[in-house]
């Protein structure tokens, strides 16, 4: 094995990448909402590999969804807190376009983007009613293996 080379990006390349991500966040969203909705729920599913966000009404009908991958992040960058915050910014813009004033946030998963997504939603001016963790917890584990007979 030879020496490992670390590829460093120049500032120009980093700015181009950032502009690309910001343009994806601010793209126009065409929504078909039947009536004015005042309250909604935002489901955040944060895994090690990606962050998914789903906007629903009170009954659970999906109005909009986005993820770190749809914003433009690829590979291991999808699971970062920065990608989660950018995803939350895109979600907040859509929530304001729809006209939803109050949201309840439900978080699922153990990824690194949980905290930053909530902080980003709150900093964008959304009125967060509640934050609830709905991560599934195994209660008794799986069935153990049979005893080995020799």
Sequence ranges of the domains in the chain: 36-133
CB 62 within 8 A of CB 54: yes
For residue 143, pLDDT over 80 is answered with yes
Q: d(Cα 49, Cα 61) in Å, to the nearest integer?
A: 26
DSSP-assigned states of every residue in 17-64: HHHHHHHHHT-------SS---EEEEEEEE-SS-EEEEEE-TT--EEE
Q: How far is CA 59 from the centre of its chain?
A: 21
Yes or no: domain 36-133 corresponds to CATH 3.20.20.150: no
**What is the reported pLDDT for 78?**
94
**What is the reported pLDDT for 30?**
63
pLDDT digits (tens, 9 = 90+) for 30-88: 666 667 789 999 999 999 999 999 999 999 999 999 999 999 999 999 999 999 999 99
pLDDT digits (tens, 9 = 90+) for 50-59: 999 999 999 9
CB 131 within 8 A of CB 118: yes
Between residues 10 and 127, the one the model is more confident about: 127
Q: How confident is the model at residue 17 (pLDDT cuts 50, 70, 90)?
A: confident
């Amino acid at each position: 094995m030879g020496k490992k080379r670390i590829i460093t990006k120049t500032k120009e390349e980093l700015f181009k990448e950032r502009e690309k991500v910001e343009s994806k966040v601010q793209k126009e969203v065409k929504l078909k909402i039947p009536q004015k909705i005042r309250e909604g729920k935002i489901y955040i599913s944060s895994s090690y590999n990606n962050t998914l966000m789903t906007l629903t009404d009170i009954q659970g009908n999906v109005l909009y969804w986005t993820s770190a991958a749809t914003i433009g992040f690829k590979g291991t960058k999808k699971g970062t807190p920065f990608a989660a915050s950018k995803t939350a910014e895109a979600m907040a813009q859509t929530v304001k376009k729809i006209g939803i004033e109050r949201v309840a946030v439900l978080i699922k998963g153990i990824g690194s983007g949980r905290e930053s997504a909530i902080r980003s939603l709150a900093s964008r001016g959304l009125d967060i009613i509640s934050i609830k963790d709905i991560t599934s917890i195994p209660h008794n584990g799986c069935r153990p293996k049979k005893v080995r007979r020799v």
